[in-house]
Structures are given as structure tokens and as C-alpha cells.
Amino acid sequence: MVAVLFIITLLIMIVLPNVGAQRKNAESTSDVAFKTVVQTQRDLYANDHDNKRASLDELKEAGYLSEKQLTKAKALEAKEK
């Protein structure tokens, strides 16, 4: 019984740090993909408005970003600074 508990504990100690690293990797990949979406929306806005560069709020007001996307984009901008 003690051997089984030892093996389970050992496996948990091996697996848990890897799970944390994978989560960070997934968040990083998600952030890069989201930045691509925001840039695409900025490009679409520029094409529709004589190459005018739009702020995030202008993209939201024009319907190019949802409220959820606006919140996430602002959080990513703050995180980068």
C-alpha cells in the first residue's frame, strides 16, 4: 500500500510542473492568434475608411470588435507595456 502511494505521489510530482508549462504555452499561442485577429480587423477598418488607423475603441464602435474582444485587446496592450 505504501509503495502504491509513493508511486502515485512520484507521478504527480512529475506531471504537475509540465501541466503548468503547457498552460503558459497555450496562453502564449492564444495571445499571438488574438493579436492577429485584431490586426486583421484594423486592416479591414483601414480598407473601409480611406486607410485611417483606428483605435481599439473606434473598432468597437464601428462593429469590428465585440465588447469581449475589446476588453481582451486592452488587457494585452497593458500587459505588453
Instruction: Tell me if the pTM is above 0.95.
Output: no
Residue 29 domain-assigned (yes or no):
no
Residue 53 domain-assigned (yes or no):
yes
* pLDDT given at position 18: 84
CA distance 25 to 34: 14
The candidate with the shortest Cα–Cα distance to 45, out of 65, 29, 26, is 65
Residue 48 domain-assigned (yes or no):
yes
Residue 80 domain-assigned (yes or no):
yes
22/79: higher pLDDT: 22
Residue 24 domain-assigned (yes or no):
no
Residue 23 domain-assigned (yes or no):
no
Residue 13 domain-assigned (yes or no):
no
Q: 73 is in which domain, residue-wise?
A: 36-81
* pLDDT given at position 13: 87
Number of domains in the chain: 1
- Whether 59 shows a pLDDT value over 90: the answer reads yes
* pLDDT given at position 1: 86
Cβ-in-10-Å burial (0-12, 13-18, 19+) of 14 comes to exposed
* pLDDT given at position 38: 95
